[in-house]
Amino acid sequence: MDTSQYMSMFLEESMENLQTLNESLLELEQRPEDIDKLNEIFRVAHTIKGMAATMGFSQMAELTHKMEDILSEFREGKLKVTEKVVTVLFRCLDTLERMVNNISEENSEEFPIDDILHDLHSMAEVGHNPEAYEKDSNTSEEINYNINEKIMLNEYDINVVKQAIDKMFNAYEIKIELSENTLLKAARAFLIFKSLEECGEIIKSIPGPEDLESENFEFKINLVYITNKEKAEVIDMLINISEVKEVTVEPVDVKNNLDNLTEKLGDFKEIEKSPEVKAKVAKKNDSADINKEAVVHKKAHQSVRVDLERLDKFMNMVSELVIHRTRLEQISSVHKLTDLNETLEQVARATSELQELVMKIRMLPLEVVFNRFPRMIRDLSKELDKEMELIIQGQETEIDRTVIDEIGEPLLHLLRNAADHGIEPSEVRIAKGKSPIGKIKLIAYAEGTKAIIKVIDDGVGLDVERIKVKANEVGINTEGMTDSDVKNLIFAQGFSTNEKVTDISGRGVGMDVVKTKIAALGGTVDAISEIDKGTSFIITLPLTLQIIQALLVKIGDETMAISLGYIDRVIDYKAELIKKTNNKEVIVYNDSIIPLVRVNKRMQIETSEIAKKYIVIVKVGEKIVGLLVDSLLGQQEIVIKPLGKTLQGLKEYIGATILGDGLVTLILDVAALV
């Protein structure tokens, strides 16, 4: 048996754990006294080390082991949580992330980690107290035990067990014997620990974690385990793990452990009197409550990992089902098959529910994208020597996985831009009467069939005159443009008002990427700004990219679809509504001047002038435009199919769909038309 079957689980869980460490370290830097957070960091680092060692990635395990040394110094109060120490730990996390990416890409290149190891070693030496350490290790060495005997618990462990029992939890001593044919003992131990920790907490193990990782043990593992599960459930869970030969589960005998502990410690009266050991025991007793809380709040994860390809295939099958349902409805309508109506209604209802379900399965919270940005802003704050904070709201907003995959890069550019160009240095902000700490907000919420994401800063704002000057330099005519249109010129390719090119931003490449990426997702982006008040970038995205409600329209002899998400209303076309301004056609509606786009001219489609026409008023971000079409064919649920490589250059369409009568119909890209 080899470790390849565990590789995808290792990669996925390593990235999740590294992200958790990033977030937890940021919080610890803000609240150094938070012991609970420190314990969480220690547990996650230990998990990463164990997994890396089990999978045979020794360099990764070594680096995490050194990180653990620093975290131990934190826990024992020998080292203070400072910006310098946290920065070194962040460097470790970045290196570990690159290692995981290399493993994922099957790249065998090794990273030079000597510098980081040296820095970690130096940090550990700063906080190291040899005397206290020596006495502590002597004490723990004496209170040792034999794997064939019952597990002897120390005072700290007994405390935790007693508190758990008081809270109506069960404390078990578990003996597990593996099959003698087990080739990969460490991997099996990892699976045992993972299963147990999903519904409880392991407070002691013989052999210890390091011996388990290095496979320095026979085929027996003894554990002390706290859970709300019954004995039979624990046995059942463990015996079902392959290569587990025998399991015995007994309640922990607290009284016997207390008697043994008193006897063992009888010979160490002098050591017990030493202030260092007293302080150590007191510290452990104080943290017992934290561990108790951790046990109480432990919940099993009622979820399962699914391969993304299977999910996409599932979505495609549901899409096909929607197409065939529409086809059946068309046939029933044409042939007036009333007997079919009831069955078709049932099929329609079931299809709709199935479709809604698969949509929800594909949805992911924006948190998976947002959670990497606090660390980035922290690093930029140090690099640019500006005080700034990131405020995140609405990260629980759910959006289609395809959108999640693509939205990270545009948001990254907008946030870096806000930090570099938007937020001013503290002294400048104070002179303007602002708070010395710049605020960048990342806000998300759902609005109908759309998701709105806003990136807001309270910095300098966009200077319209400066943008006009730059636009004229690069040959863009700004005559007749509104201030809003001028501000949105920053999304033009290669457009930048920054005189100095920095590593962070300044070439005008990022904003172009933002516009292109968001347009490719069927979304829009708008810039709203006020001098010295700040800038807001408003991104509007579809919640899903597969199945949408659309209005079918006729343009000449062609049938086309327009997503209902963009449509504000439809009005009758009257020639007297149309006016001309700046040589462009507009309509006056409800005291508003709305630009008019003749879709047939834009698409070069011949059309009759006699037929009654309609104006579809669409809203794209902050812009409102009227689209002139020949006739309306009604609303329908349609499945978006990509156009493929041959036609991917057609910017006016986001894809095509198949209607009930088998006709292939193009879906207009309203954002591109506007």
From 17, 22, 68, 329, active-site residue: 68
The residues near 398 (Cβ < 8 Å, ≥ 6 apart) are 360, 363, 364, 365, 366, 446, 543
Single-letter amino acid code for the residue at 337: L
From 17, 22, 46, 222, active-site residue: 46
Single-letter amino acid code for the residue at 143: I
- C-alpha 60/C-alpha 95 separation (Å) is 9
Asked if residues 45 and 23 have their Cβ atoms less than 8 Å apart, the reply is: no
Active-site annotation holds for 68:
yes
pLDDT at 132 (0 to 100) = 38
Structure tokens at 607: 């059309």
Gap between the terminal Cα atoms of the chain: 59
E-strand spans in 398-500? 398-400, 438-447, 450-457
pLDDT at 402 (0 to 100) = 80
Share of the chain above pLDDT 90, in %: 7
Name the CA radius of gyration of the chain, rounded: 32
pLDDT at 646 (0 to 100) = 72
Active-site annotation holds for 417:
yes
Active-site annotation holds for 301:
no
pLDDT at 281 (0 to 100) = 46
Could you report the per-residue pLDDT of 486-539, keeping only the tens digit for each?
888 888 766 666 555 455 554 445 687 788 888 878 788 888 888 889 999 999
Number of residues that make up the chain: 674
In whole angstroms, what separates CA 267 from the centre of its chain?
A: 54
Instruction: Single out the residue of 235, 157, 253, 135 nearest to residue 192, CA to CA.
Output: 235
Handedness of CA 370, 371, 373, 374 (dihedral sign): positive
From 417, 421, 424, 600, active-site residue: 417
Directed axis angle between helix 7-30 and helix 373-384, to 10°? 50
Produce one character per residue of 396-420: b if its CB has 16 or more CB atoms within 10 Å, e if not: ebbbbbbbbebbbebbbbbbbbbbb
Residue 97, judged by CB atoms within 10 A of its CB (0-12, 13-18, 19+), counts as middle
Residues of the chain falling short of pLDDT 50:
1, 128-147, 264-265, 267-274, 277, 280-281, 283-285, 287-301, 501, 506-508
Strand partners, 389: 439
pLDDT at 133 (0 to 100) = 36
Domains of the chain: 3-128 (1.20.120.160), 141-296 (3.30.70.1110), 308-364 (1.10.287), 366-542 (3.30.565.10), 547-673 (2.40.50.180)
